[in-house]
Chain A
Amino acid sequence: MKKLYLITLFASLLITACDPNKDIYNDLDKLKNPYSDILTYTMISADYSTFSSLALKTATSKWDSTLAKEIKTYTSFGPYRNIANYGTAANSFLTTKFVALKKGSVVYIKSDFSTSYSLKTPDANAALPIAAGVELYTLIAGDYTAAGLDSGFVGANQMVKLTDYLKSTICPNAVKDQFLVVNYKKSLTTSVDGYFIFNGTAWSLDAAKSYVLVMADYDAMGAPGTNDNFSSSIVPQNYLPAFLKIKYPYAQTNDVKVLIYKYYSSGVQTHIATYTYDGSLWKERTSKLDQYINNGEAWFYDPTIKFTMIAADYQIICDFVKNDPEKSTYFNKKYKNEEYWFGANAYRVNFDFKVVNRTGIYTIDATVYQKDSLGTFTGKTIAENTITFNTRLKEGLIVLLEAKYPTLQPLTSTGLQAYIEVKYNIYTGFNPTPQYTAKFKVTGVGKFENETYTNVDCIP
């Protein structure tokens, strides 16, 4: 009897012994397959107020708090007020709004993009640096002197003095991607507006992305030419789309142009508007889409590294070809800044898709060199060469990425999948050379795989 009692006691203890961590493992498994979704959320005016308060809480300087308050006033993030700068506020905003969305979820925040509006100018007699929110600054005589521009205007090759002065004196607290329209003298008699962008380190005149309308433009459009400005009766949205279509006939889908023009409303104002091309028409950008990804712990702004290839980048590809025994004959030994394997041309800052440019010969003194020494392109059809050129271009981009980002980890420090977006030019005889974008996924440390790419036909 006592024996039986002992056995049952032990048996009951056995049952409790089995798996002490069962509940924890169940909870962890649930986390592995969290609820996730991809959606687009459109901001309403109440959201801007909420966001503004959140941004104010994390503001560490007067500059930051002014910008934070403006979100509420302008009910937009705008090109000036980049939502990417409000990491903590955006995270709090999204975590509260989308409680159920966990790891892997993506939310595209659709926010209003300020349509044509008057650029904010500094208060009268305000001292430098400019206050937060100022978007248009007109240089005065004292500025030229202080910037080292003794001539009193920005002459040839003197732009760097102006951009340095912007950083040191006019807007030292700039945040990345911030813009500033500066009215400066090109010569003693001519003033122009320049659209400047801050890339995090320095200011530069963003001529590619922006265009300041000149007198000839207003005249060409007809009615605006009367006073060289738009107004409530001469609505810019009625003219600018057509203007852009004529000015940029080779525009690609999703191309963006920032236009700066004059608008009359009890005085001549300088206005700014952003237009995007949808493939057939230029439309004023009224909304902006910012991508946020949830890594299981917090929401992070799309961490894709974006860059536009410059001459030095094309040169990296040229040097790679030079040093590769299999490919070295495709390196132009005369000019040393172009190669025909991948098609990179550092001098022209593009990939050359003209077959005639990648076949034939070049000479150094009496020696004749074959450009297409292996006969890969010579005698092939356009369709065949198109396939080859596009494949080679993608490979060339990977060569570039491996050289530029050899230690890049496949997961960012926040646990998100890393991507790189490269913008490059392909020459097919047009001027200006159209720009394309390719997206690469980081699959290993310094290893890349192409995700999106636009095929371009080559020409003979």
Chain B
Amino acid sequence: MMKKTLLLFAICLLTLASINAQTLIKGKIIDAKNNEELIGAIIMVEGTGTGTTSTLDGSFSFKVKPGDLKIEISFMGYVKQFIDVKIANGETKDIGTIALETDAIGLEEIKIVASFAIDRVTPISVSTISPTLIQEKLGSKEFPEILKSTPSVYATKTGGGYGDGRINLRGFSSNNIGVLINGVPVNDMESGAVYWSNWAGLSDVTRTMQVQRGLGASKLALSSVGGTINIITKSIDAKKGGSIYYGIGNDNYQKTAFTLSTGLMENGWAITANGSHTTGDGYIKGANFEGWSYFLNVAKKINEKHQLSYTVFGAPQWHNQRYYKHSIQDYRDNPDGTKLNTDYGYLNGKIYSIQHNQYHKPQMSVNHTWLINTNTHLSTAVYASFGRGGGRRIRGTSANWIQFQSNGKPYDMTLITPDNHLNLEAVLDSNKASQVGSKAVMQMDMNSHDWYGILSNLNKQMGNFNITAGVDGRFYKGYHYTEITDLLGGDYYIDPTANVNRTIGSPLQVGDKVNRDYIGKVIWGGLFGQAEYVVDKYSAFLSLAVSNTTYQRFDYFQYTPEQGQASAKKSFLGYSFKGGTNYNLNKKHNVFINAGYFLRAPYFSFVFKNYTNNLNEGVKPERVLSYEGGYGFRSKFMSANLTLYQTSWLDKALTRTNGNDLINITGLNAIHKGIELSVSSNPIKKVDVILMTSIGSWKWDKDVEAEIYDANNNYVRTDSVFAKGIHVGDAAQTTASLTINYEVFPKVRLGVDYNYAANLYAYFDIASRSNSSDKGDDAWKLPAYSLFDLNVKYLFNLGKLDATLIGNVDNIFDVEYLADATDGANHDAITSTVFYGFGRTATLSLKINF
């Protein structure tokens, strides 16, 4: 009996052992178009939970049960593939290299127009953000915050209103960062700023994103002092189908969205449409909002050589904001705590904010791609954008009834209700009782614009050379006027600012223009060219761009038609040249260097004096000089990038007045240098770890002294800016992040992000540092902080449809931290005013594909 049992047991063991003998499937996944290895593709046995993801060199291997298997290979942005495999017990089958086709048509061409960097070829410091990352980690974050885990980025929500986020790159703010959407520059033509609230729907339609730090790879004459943010939106989906999306979050956050694609139809047409609607109360008090976004892409493949597509997208929104910072003690003393917002009150039971923004900036373009021959193609984009909207402001002799001082304290006359809101009812009563019309009214500062442009790119491959030449033309008109939107109880309003084209003292009504009415016109013409040399081990590039900017101002408020309402035209020449080279030592190591110099035309507000048509004749252009050197390491389990950089921002615009004269002072320089390290690794199966560290030393360079003389060359005085050695403010100079993504099951991913920010000095205006008593004193240094974010993704099937459930919890430990601050008189925590970052927020969303 014993022997039989033993024998049976032995047979069982043998059988078990033989079943558990390694039955492996392995292979490699690449991009069909450019042969780049695809990291993170999902390889599964269809209908089971067995599978894995591809590693850092695109390879994969996993254990399966023997038999006839159908292997499903999927990766976001690519068309799914199915491979039939027959595998015997104990066999190791290599199914070879599987090339996945991108699921978007025309993506490669757009990437070239947008100068998307290619790994181990383009010699620049770059981070690519995949659509997977956006999908998993964005939640209800502000769009620029998705870049937090890339080097030298400091992104905050500022006041906390919907779309009010901002990003600084290597310590430079948005007017020193080039932002491109599908290769088209979107920085404001007058100020260079980027208002992310114009692009509130961008996250829904972003296909892929790249942050090119430093001068970047763009061939255009861009203001890329800190870097370039290159966003590529969806183009034509190759597959027919669509999706619906529903997400909820804290403070009544709700978002619904849909996508529909016809796919590439037989008649050559393809249409993709996307729409969304988002509302919420906002995390802080009084910051409710509503936004829509739409995206339409219609494409026609005319023949093998020509393709035409029309894209239009926009994100009309309104949102209530928070503008006034407060001292730390004021937040601690207030029952609303860090959510305190003193910019709103209640009217008729509804929130009425004195800081309210509404904007709609549809961007449309017609893109034509002409494959002249296999080596040459011409891409042209003709685009237009019409921005409409502005921000509410309170004006009037008694505007301080519902305003706070810049130090966060109320004025003596500020009217506040017992529960600490602005007392709008009292304003209405006072205005009604006034015998001189409303003393405080609501006005809208309108900053609309019409922008037309053409961007054409001829690219020719000649042997190992890749030559590009192109034209970048822009015509822009900015309409800046303020109109009364609400008399707040009074019968009329008298505008103290004189409009020469109107009788002084006329009683004004809703819709009448006050304070200003001018148009800023900018005509830009640019030419650019690049030569790129690529062989197996080396690549080098040299690019040149030249531009002419012509400014003109039309003022209908301060000048009569007889005086002449048009200013003189003023043109500025700008140019940039840059070059770099990359050397691949072997399959694992590469090194690169790049350097560049550009001269930038001054921004509109420096060209015209004091909001008049008078030209600042002596205005000086700003210049930038930048160098960068880097090293890259690629292996099966790890990829690392190390960059050292130095960027000098020379002659930051600085003006002083002497009577009626404006004096332009040069010499105010800032030097930003640092080290950036990012490492991606796959230390153990199913886990990938991404580590980022960036340490910057961003300082103002030297003291500036300017002797002021009068018209007769008599010495008047010496003006100084004591800038030497002062740390650049408003961006954390040391940042670090650690991301761990864990594939709990093949269709369930868990991610934890740790972010650290330190060496953050408060915002201050360097031009105002004219007092020798605080020479060399840094602005207040905020305490360093650490935050944890958590995300979960679950892929499942709803019948035949694919569904994705994503949950995000940001700042999971509800840490109270200071994200933004304005320096106070004593450069300390007591006199500075701040905005806290948000506490714990959460979103949950469901997307169903059909």
Contacts and interface: CB of A to CB of B under 8 A. Distances in A.
Q: A-B pairs with the 10 shortest C-beta distances? A: A17-B786, A20-B785, A20-B783, A24-B829, A20-B817, A2-B684, A2-B683, A16-B786, A28-B329, A13-B754
B786 A13 contact: yes
B328 A20 contact: no
Nearest to B754: A13
A413 B409 CA distance: 12
Interface of A: 2-3, 6, 9-10, 13-14, 16-21, 23-25, 27-28, 31, 409, 413
Contact of B818 (A20, A27, A31, A409): A20
Given A2-B683, A10-B754, A13-B754, A24 B783 contact: yes
A293 to B, nearest CB: 20
A3 B685 CA distance: 11
Nearest to A13: B754
A14 B752 CA distance: 12
A23 B783 contact: yes
Nearest to A16: B786
B783 A21 contact: yes
Interface string B805-817: 0000000010111
Interface in B737-786: 738, 740, 752, 754, 756, 783-786
In the complex, which range does the number of interface residues on chain B fall in? 20 to 34
Contacts of A21: 328, 783, 816-818
A18 B752 CA distance: 16
Contacts of A10: 738, 740, 752, 754
Contacts of A23: 783
Interface in B327-351: 328-329, 332
Interface of B: 328-329, 332, 412, 683-684, 687, 689, 738, 740, 752, 754, 756, 783-788, 813, 815-818, 829-830
Contacts of A18: 813, 815
Given A2-B683, A16-B786, A25-B328, 11 more contacts: A2-B684, A13-B756, A17-B813, A20-B815, A20-B817, A20-B818, A21-B816, A23-B783, A24-B829, A27-B830, A28-B328
Contacts of B783: 20-21, 23-24
A382 to B, nearest CB: 45
B680 to A, nearest CB: 15
A33 to B, nearest CB: 13
Contact of A24 (B328, B740, B786, B788): B328
Given A10-B752, A10-B754, A20 B784 contact: yes
A28 B332 contact: yes
A28 B834 CA distance: 15
Instruction: Report whether over half of chain A's contact residues are helix, strand or loop; otherwise say mixed.
Output: helix
Given A25-B332, A28-B329, A17 B816 contact: no
Nearest to A32: B329
Contact of A6 (B329, B740, B813): B740
Contacts of B738: 9-10, 13
Given A10-B752, A21-B817, A21-B818, A413 B412 contact: yes
Greatest chain B CB density within 10 A among A16, A18, A20, A27 is at: A20
Contacts of A31: 329, 830
29 contacts: A3-B684, A6-B689, A10-B752, A13-B754, A13-B756, A13-B786, A14-B813, A16-B756, A17-B785, A17-B787, A17-B788, A17-B813, A18-B815, A19-B815, A20-B783, A20-B784, A20-B815, A20-B816, A21-B328, A21-B783, A21-B816, A21-B817, A24-B783, A25-B328, A27-B830, A28-B329, A28-B332, A28-B829, A413-B412
A19 B815 CA distance: 7
A27 B683 contact: no
Contacts of A409: 412
B107 to A, nearest CB: 36
A20 B786 contact: yes
A21 B412 CA distance: 31
B815 A27 contact: no
A413 B818 CA distance: 29
B815 to A, nearest CB: 6
B277 to A, nearest CB: 35
Contacts, number: 61
Contacts of B813: 14, 17-18
A2 B816 CA distance: 32
Contacts of A24: 328, 783, 829
Contacts of B689: 6
B54 to A, nearest CB: 20
Contacts of B815: 17-20
Query: Which of A14, A21, A27, A28 is most buried by chain B, counting CB atoms within 10 A of its CB?
Result: A21
Contacts of B332: 25, 28
**Which of A3, A13, A17, A31: most chain B Cβ within 10 A?**
A17
Contacts of B412: 409, 413
A19 B752 contact: no
Contacts of A28: 328-329, 332, 829-830
Nearest to B812: A17
Given A28-B829, A413-B412, A19 B816 contact: yes
Contacts of A13: 738, 754, 756, 786
A403 B498 CA distance: 39
B833 to A, nearest CB: 13
Contacts of A25: 328, 332
B123 to A, nearest CB: 33
A2 B829 CA distance: 42
A418 to B, nearest CB: 13
A413 B783 CA distance: 31
A408 to B, nearest CB: 11
Nearest to A409: B412
Contacts of B829: 24, 27-28
A413 B815 CA distance: 35
Contacts of A9: 738
A28 B829 CA distance: 9
A95 to B, nearest CB: 15
A174 B802 CA distance: 89
A23 B738 CA distance: 26
Nearest to B784: A20
Contacts of A19: 815-816
Contacts of B787: 17
A14 B813 CA distance: 9
Contacts of B756: 13, 16
A246 to B, nearest CB: 51
Contacts of B784: 20
Contacts of B785: 17, 20
A335 to B, nearest CB: 35
B333 to A, nearest CB: 9
B96 to A, nearest CB: 30
B415 to A, nearest CB: 11
B620 to A, nearest CB: 40
Nearest to A15: B786
B753 to A, nearest CB: 11
Contacts of A27: 829-830
A134 to B, nearest CB: 39
A24 B828 CA distance: 10
A43 to B, nearest CB: 31
A342 B412 CA distance: 33
Contacts of B684: 2-3
A5 to B, nearest CB: 9
A25 B830 CA distance: 10
Nearest to B683: A2
A24 B785 CA distance: 13
Nearest to B736: A13
B834 to A, nearest CB: 10
A2 B742 CA distance: 14
B692 to A, nearest CB: 14
A409 B683 CA distance: 66
A297 to B, nearest CB: 10
A6 B817 CA distance: 25
B170 to A, nearest CB: 23
B183 to A, nearest CB: 39
